[in-house]
Structure 1
Amino acid sequence: MTTSHTTWSVLPQLFATLSVCLSGMCTGTFFSFSSVAIPILQKPMEQGGWEITLEQGSWIASIFYIGTIFGSLASGSLVDKYGSKWVSLVMGPVVVLNWIITAFPGHIATIYCTRIVAGACYGVFLAVAKVYIAEVAHPDFRGTTSAFYPTFLSAGLLYGFVLGNFIPHLRLFTLLLAVPAIIYFVMCLFIPNSPYWLVARGRLDEAQKSLQWLRGSTCDIQEEFKEILTKSERSNDDAKESWKSSLTSSDLWRPLIRIGVLMLLVEWSGSNLISQYMVIVIQESGSSIEPNLATIGVALARMIFGSMSTVILRYCPRRPLLLFCTFLSMVSFLSLGTFKHILTTSREISENQTTVEEIATIQHTFGWIPMVSIGLIQACETVGFIAIVHLTLQAESFPTRVRAIGCGLLGVVTALARFSIAKIFPLLLSLLGFEGVFWLFAIILLLIFIYCWIIVPENKGQSLTKTEDKMMVT
């Protein structure tokens, strides 16, 4: 869609960014696997399970994030050395092979190992998507592309939950989870290397061809190409100094502490945890809706809200939106815990005061509450926590010279937080009960609301320089 020599084309950039963001769909299958597989593996062997305990299942969900730490730490060097395109082309077959090994395990330890590899792939995928989108999308189109990755992640969740509902055999289910990785690999065959990466390697002719392909054959790219050359020269100058002073600089640690605390609280609030244990959560919540069908509905709602997040963020100020999503998540967790508490209390006194039929009537009439609550939690995570905290706020908080280091460290913080909450979730259930755990999450969300009210500034429509200055104020 090109009308003059100065007009850039949408379609090439759309194809390139969508191709790389298909890695988000691969990530969604990583999350849906644990949610579907753990309940199946808990079943007796005659029913196709392995009779594993929930504690063993918690390792399937949590050890994934140990791999994410390794992937996050290695991703910067991989992308810098080989480029986003070639890293993507390698990751596709790695994911496919990993799913094949997962489908034919000889022992539960094999699944633990493949989950570590999957987590490492997730860490790499995040880095590749962020870097490639930032470097190939036109500045006027970049905001639109920010929603692609979380939308595809939600699509991967939906795909996995649909398979889990219609395919009862774990092995076939696992093999079919490799399909998005195959599509991802094929599409990445046709995308160009980033012009920024090519310029940094001195391959200027290839960089010009890449930028021309991305902007369209009739677009005049000379001015933008000169900007890329200038930026590359400045980056080289900054790199000579950054590693000498960055790790001890207040420019790094002030925003790192502020945003790091927020990200720790967000992960400990249970919003992301729901994806890993969704089938179990719906089973335990007292919902009247069949768990596998409920997961499909929740994942569909999450994908819809994910696709809408770009439009929402375009018109809504970020700070009020984050506060609203936090408050709505808190109310949803309170509803989950309270509904379960009412059912549990009713059953405990049923012999004297309440008949079994009356309890069944309550569950049938109001059994939609858990599904709606979980759907709202997932929607708020996508629009508020992923789009604002993970993809926008952390990148805006660091000065340019320490942005890569800061975002990398925050990735490690996030992975450790997710590992810890996923691992202790069964312990929390045994100590506090279902309702107690989700009331605890509601309390953490209240702390997040207060913290955001005090700490998080409104950055909508402001330059990176101004947002950096805000985060450096003590």
Structure 2
Amino acid sequence: MAPSRRTVRQYVAAFISSIAVLMCGSTIGWITPIIVWFKGPKSEIPMTSDESSWVASIIELGNFFTPLPSGILVDKIGRKPCLLSIAPMYIASWLLVLTTRSVFVLYIARIIQGFAMGIVFTVLPMYLAEIAGPDIRGTLSTFFQGMFFTGIQIQYCIGPYVSYQNLAYISLTFPVIFLATFIWMPESPYYLIMKNQDVEAGIALAWLRGEDSVVNVDDELKAIKCSVADEMANKKSWTDVISSKTDRRALMIALIVALSEIMSGITAVLTYASQTFNSSESKAFLTPDEYTIILGFLIVFSTVFAAGQIDTMGRRPLLLGSSIGCAVFEFLTGVYYFLLEKTDIYVSKYNWIAFILISAYCVVLASGLGATVATVQGELFPANTRGIASAVIATSVTILSFFWMKIYQVISDNIGIYLNYFIFSACCIISTILIYFLVPETKGKTLAEIQINLVKKTEKIETNDVILEDISTINSIKNEK
């Protein structure tokens, strides 16, 4: 969807705010081109295989601690200040990388990066959903995943060809750029209305909609005020995210979508991509790093494709097609590596097959599951629980990401790469079933309409349960007679 006068500033705000998640992708992708170097004879920071896996995965330890505090603070101090707070964290972490040659200090730098990542994954989906109009909310929300993968790709492209020191300098520029640009972006109109700052909310909304006067957005501003007033009227405590039946349903749906992406193994696959492509002993057409660069470009292009389709095709078709495709391609990848590692069949000379299969998996994931996670997370929750719900989802994703990033290396070393992909494939099959039966379509609906539909769906289920219970009671009485 081409930006119009009314939407161009929304795209600008979405792009600049999403530099935050580009930094997250950069910290994830940073380890990929240098993980083999860490374990090599020329490493300035010599590491064992176990230590390198900790450098890769310990970022998720820091990511575990910040979602819940930021989920609370986001409703107290705002979306914009929370996002701005990550810039000093990233700057400090890259300065540590530049000045250290110690594995232990590197652990600390990665944990700090994890702190920042936890804030971004909690707050940015909310910000993107709240600044966007309903007709382009899905598209703007895909900036989250698109910029995340772009951050990874930048490291894939630059990492193999520059020194360890220069790679850290390049990575340091991203938080500086973010701090210099995002400070000029508006706060979320939803947050400003929550804080009874109606004038500021009108100004922010008019800017986002490309209007010269607040009067021109008066109808939308009134609709947002009514929606926030209804949602905040029921506010009791942050535990409403699980005490309300509607919110429990929303949380379940969002967790299914978010955890389906992680259970497919994407963080581990991308982190260990160069190492995986390096597992074959035969001469390849390209180097492992070159394969990884091509893989990164395919993922970024797939996310761009999804951005153009999510508000046209809808969320459910993309989710279902993506999870089925991931299951198929990961199963075939597992078959290839099983033949390579556990049989005498000579498949090393066909290592391009592994690249094609892993690339196909990443493409279909980026086109569906990856592109819709932030959209669904930002859409499903009312104003009074949006922050804490995002925190719960981010924490759950963190725990699962840490598990897969650490266990991937353990399974590869002790059993074989193939088992990782068989497990990922099985998880995708389960995800497909859950998505089909439980995840609704939200295309083209306002945030208020989504809440109304969730309430109606919950009440319908409860009504059906009551009817079934009454029928069961009547049948029991008849049987007794």
Which letter does structure 2 place at the counterpart of 1:423?
Answer: K
> Is the contact between residue 301 and residue 379 of structure 1 (CA under 8 Å) also seen in structure 2?
yes
- Corresponding residue SS for 1:50: coil
> Is the contact between residue 337 and residue 436 of structure 1 (CA under 8 Å) also seen in structure 2?
yes
Structure 1 residue aligned with 2:24 = 27
- Corresponding residue SS for 1:31: helix
2:218 matches 1:222: yes
Deviation of the 1:160 alpha carbon: 0.6
CA distance in structure 2 between the aligned counterparts of 1:84 and 1:245, rounded to whole angstroms: 20
Select the residue among 382, 388, 394 that pairs with 1:411. Answer: 394
Structure 2 residue aligned with 1:200 = 194
Structure 2 residue aligned with 1:37 = 34
Structure 1 residue aligned with 2:432 = 449
Select the residue among 319, 337, 341 that pairs with 1:340. Answer: 337
Select the residue among 165, 183, 190 that pairs with 1:189. Answer: 183
Which letter does structure 2 place at the counterpart of 1:410?
Answer: I
> Is the contact between residue 285 and residue 340 of structure 1 (CA under 8 Å) also seen in structure 2?
no
> Is the contact between residue 193 and residue 201 of structure 2 (CA under 8 Å) also seen in structure 1?
yes
Structure 2 CA distance for partners of 1:436 and 1:309, relative to 1, 3 Å: same
CA distance in structure 2 between the aligned counterparts of 1:245 and 1:71, rounded to whole angstroms: 20
> Is the contact between residue 198 and residue 207 of structure 1 (CA under 8 Å) also seen in structure 2?
yes
| Structure 1: runs of 5 or more not aligned | 1-6, 350-358
CA distance in structure 2 between the aligned counterparts of 1:130 and 1:48, rounded to whole angstroms: 38
> Is the contact between residue 156 and residue 289 of structure 2 (CA under 8 Å) also seen in structure 1?
yes
Deviation of the 1:425 alpha carbon: 1.5
Structure 2 CA distance for partners of 1:409 and 1:471, relative to 1, 3 Å: farther
2:203 matches 1:209: yes
Which letter does structure 1 place at the counterpart of 2:186?
Answer: P
2:99 matches 1:108: no
2:125 matches 1:130: yes
Structure 2 CA distance for partners of 1:213 and 1:326, relative to 1, 3 Å: closer
Deviations 1:196-230 (A, max 9, x none): 33343444443333333222343512223333443
Structure 1 residue aligned with 2:148 = 153
Deviation of the 1:245 alpha carbon: 5.1
- Corresponding residue SS for 1:452: helix
Select the residue among 314, 321, 326 that pairs with 2:323. Answer: 326
Which letter does structure 2 place at the counterpart of 1:445?
Answer: C
Structure 2 residue aligned with 1:234 = 230
Deviation of the 1:394 alpha carbon: 4.6
CA distance in structure 2 between the aligned counterparts of 1:206 and 1:324, rounded to whole angstroms: 42
CA distance in structure 2 between the aligned counterparts of 1:381 and 1:151, rounded to whole angstroms: 12
Superposition RMSD in Å? 2.8
Deviation of the 1:403 alpha carbon: 4.4
TM-score, normalization: structure 1?
0.85
Residues 388-399 of structure 1 mapped to structure 2, 5 A cutoff: 388=372, 390-394=373-377
Identity %: 24
Select the residue among 353, 358, 378 that pairs with 1:369. Answer: 353
Deviation of the 1:244 alpha carbon: 6.6
Structure 2 CA distance for partners of 1:195 and 1:315, relative to 1, 3 Å: closer
> Is the contact between residue 231 and residue 383 of structure 2 (CA under 8 Å) also seen in structure 1?
no
2:378 matches 1:383: no
> Is the contact between residue 457 and residue 470 of structure 1 (CA under 8 Å) also seen in structure 2?
no
Deviation of the 1:52 alpha carbon: 1.2
Structure 2 residue aligned with 1:71 = 66
Structure 1 residue aligned with 2:272 = 277
Structure 2 residue aligned with 1:352 = none
> Is the contact between residue 315 and residue 443 of structure 2 (CA under 8 Å) also seen in structure 1?
yes
Deviations 1:166-217 (A, max 9, x none): 11x2122122112222221221132223333334344444333333322234
> Is the contact between residue 135 and residue 444 of structure 2 (CA under 8 Å) also seen in structure 1?
no
Select the residue among 304, 311, 315 that pairs with 1:314. Answer: 311
> Is the contact between residue 102 and residue 174 of structure 1 (CA under 8 Å) also seen in structure 2?
yes
CA distance in structure 1 between the aligned counterparts of 2:30 and 2:260, rounded to whole angstroms: 25
| Structure 2: runs of 5 or more not aligned | 463-481
- Corresponding residue SS for 2:405: helix
Structure 2 CA distance for partners of 1:72 and 1:453, relative to 1, 3 Å: same
Structure 2 residue aligned with 1:173 = 167
Structure 2 CA distance for partners of 1:230 and 1:251, relative to 1, 3 Å: closer
Deviations 1:407-432 (A, max 9, x none): 32222111111111111222211332
Structure 2 CA distance for partners of 1:238 and 1:380, relative to 1, 3 Å: same
Deviation of the 1:436 alpha carbon: 2.5
